[in-house]
A and B are shown apart, each in its own frame.
Chain A
Amino acid sequence: MTTQTFKKRLGLSLVVTLLLLVASGVLFAPPLFAAESDVALEMNSKNIMWAVISAALAFSVGAVSAGFAISHVGAAAMGAMSEKPEIGGQALIFIALAEGLVVFGFITALMILGKV
């Protein structure tokens, strides 16, 4: 690909992105700006409801998965540590990896709630 074609394509993609942004603004902005109307109010509360459900799901699924993973990783870690206590530090890393799932869920939930 020559530099000229690359520049052309870059320009074109920038224009398309800009158009898409404007189009989405036109499509989705009215309900937000027309908060006074009943229809807009109803749509807004629906959006909030789904956002809250998504946040709850993100957190709860993350927490349940972490619990499940920790129960098994923890059991294996306990089994190994009962024979070799010196590997406790390494075992903790694996438990922390499983724990990470709930942290991801929590951050995702916070991000969703931040948009409401």
Chain B
Amino acid sequence: MSIGALSRYAFINAKLKSRITSMLTARQIDTLSRSKTLTEALYSLRGTHYEPLIELYHQSGDIERLEAWLFARNIILHQEVNSHLKGGGGAVVAALTRKLEVENLKSVIRLWFSNRIKRQNIDYRYGYLYQGKITSEIEWARIVNSTHFSEIVEALEGTPYREPLSHFSNEQVEQEGLFDVEITLDKIWFNLLREEAKSLSKEDRSILEQVLERDADLKNIINLFRFGWLYTLDGEHLKTLMLEGGVITKSEEFQEYLEQPAQSRSPMKLIAFRFPELAKELAASRESSSENLTLMVESYLFKVRREEYRKMLRGNPFTIGTILAYFFLEERQNSIVRTIINGVNYGWEAEAIEEYTL
């Protein structure tokens, strides 16, 4: 452990570890998911970081407002952590915050698409979007009000998204939809994060690169499973969806998978190559619904990630690992709260909600 790491992480990591200990417990989550009404669910969050949701719901009675608050909270947490870090650590957190910016940008472009291409009314939806600065200066209103896709590209001047999106034409977007645009945006933030990893100290870099290599494999396996097997995309198209890094895309099994005719592909060999335990689980399962199989894969991969982050929290406390684990747990917690309040609002049974909260 170097002295530099000690000064860099002593304050922030102690703060984040304290926050982790005050996250929602399994019992609180259980109480939340067993609530009969949304009001009851929200009141069970009293005394937690989610208490402002009670007041917000009383004021608006609007569940989408609650989701918007959860998203904004996540951004604020990222920006707060960033304000305590200098140098490489700060740049990496900024790159992680970019993921939220990309999510917001995707939502804004989807709104534009609904409005301009599908001719739907978007007035009520625009109010729920985050309209402040996340990492880059982006005029969100200008994007929504663009008449043409090229105007969106112009509105993104000075951001890393402009150049890659300039390869899409309005006609292409109109005909093929936003799928490829969204994949491109995901790849941009992931590659930027990989670049920022180079500015870290040796130990931090090794931790982050390990996380990115694993995440690339996890994301790629989900994409190969979902788009390659369930939606049978052609090999070339499938290749463009893959994130850089990991071992899957470099394997012979991957090449074989792409070369197979879309209708007769099976992702099992690929899954067995990288995640043998998951392959066994899938083989033993009698599940035939594609949605449930995808849930099984996602659930397993989530467990892999969770275990890795737990290891990080048990390891050296003066590394970027604590920050990465905190963001992971915080994001997971937000997602659980979002899923439960939606489930309770729609009157789902607690068991059904738990399936989606993993």
Is there contact, CB below 8 Å, between A72 and B10? yes
Which residues of B from 1 to 56 have beta carbons under 8 Å from A? 6-7, 10-19, 21-22
Q: Does A36 contact B (CB under 8 A)?
A: no
- Which of A44-52, A54-62, A76-84 binds B? A76-84
Q: Does A87 contact B (CB under 8 A)?
A: yes
Looking across the interface, which residue of chain B has its beta carbon closest to that of A73?
B10
Q: Does A16 contact B (CB under 8 A)?
A: no
Q: Does A21 contact B (CB under 8 A)?
A: no
State in angstroms the CA–CA spacing of A27 and B18 once bound together.
61
Collect the chain B residues with CB atoms within 8 Å of residue A111's CB: none
* Chain A 27-43 interface 0/1 with B at a Cβ cutoff of 8 Å (1 = within): 00000000000000000
Q: Does A75 contact B (CB under 8 A)?
A: yes
Is there contact, CB below 8 Å, between B7 and A72? yes
Is there contact, CB below 8 Å, between B6 and A80? no
Query: Chain A's interface: helix, strand, loop or mixed, by majority?
Result: helix
State in angstroms the CA–CA spacing of A73 and B14 once bound together.
10
State in angstroms the CA–CA spacing of A72 and B12 once bound together.
11
Q: Which 6 A-B pairs have the closest CB atoms?
A: A79-B15, A79-B14, A83-B18, A76-B14, A79-B11, A80-B14
Collect the chain A residues with CB atoms within 8 Å of residue B7's CB: 72, 75
State in angstroms the CA–CA spacing of A83 and B84 once bound together.
15
Is there contact, CB below 8 Å, between B10 and A80? no
Known: A79-B13, A79-B18, A83-B18. 18 other contacts (CB 8 A): A72-B6, A72-B7, A73-B10, A75-B10, A76-B13, A76-B14, A78-B14, A79-B10, A79-B11, A80-B17, A80-B18, A82-B15, A83-B15, A83-B19, A83-B22, A84-B18, A84-B22, A87-B18
Is there contact, CB below 8 Å, between B12 and A84? no
Collect the chain A residues with CB atoms within 8 Å of residue B17's CB: 80
State in angstroms the CA–CA spacing of A83 and B17 once bound together.
9
Is there contact, CB below 8 Å, between A84 and B11? no
Is there contact, CB below 8 Å, between B22 and A79? no
State in angstroms the CA–CA spacing of A55 and B223 once bound together.
68
Distance of B301 from chain A, by nearest CB (Å)? 30
Looking across the interface, which residue of chain B has its beta carbon closest to that of A74?
B10
State in angstroms the CA–CA spacing of A78 and B13 once bound together.
11
Distance of A66 from chain B, by nearest CB (Å)? 15
Distance of B48 from chain A, by nearest CB (Å)? 13
Is there contact, CB below 8 Å, between B6 and A77? no
Is there contact, CB below 8 Å, between B19 and A76? no
Which residues of B from 283 to 309 have beta carbons under 8 Å from A? none
Which of B13, B14, B17 has the most chain A CB atoms closer than 10 A to its own CB?
B14
With contacts A84-B18, A84-B22 taken as known, whether A79 is within 8 angstroms of B6 at the C-beta atoms is no
Collect the chain A residues with CB atoms within 8 Å of residue B21's CB: 84
State in angstroms the CA–CA spacing of A87 and B17 once bound together.
13
Collect the chain B residues with CB atoms within 8 Å of residue A82's CB: 15, 18
State in angstroms the CA–CA spacing of A80 and B12 once bound together.
8
State in angstroms the CA–CA spacing of A87 and B7 once bound together.
21
12 A-B residue pairs with Cβ-Cβ distance under 8 Å, sorted by A, are A72-B6, A75-B10, A76-B11, A77-B14, A78-B14, A79-B10, A79-B18, A80-B15, A83-B15, A83-B18, A84-B18, A84-B22
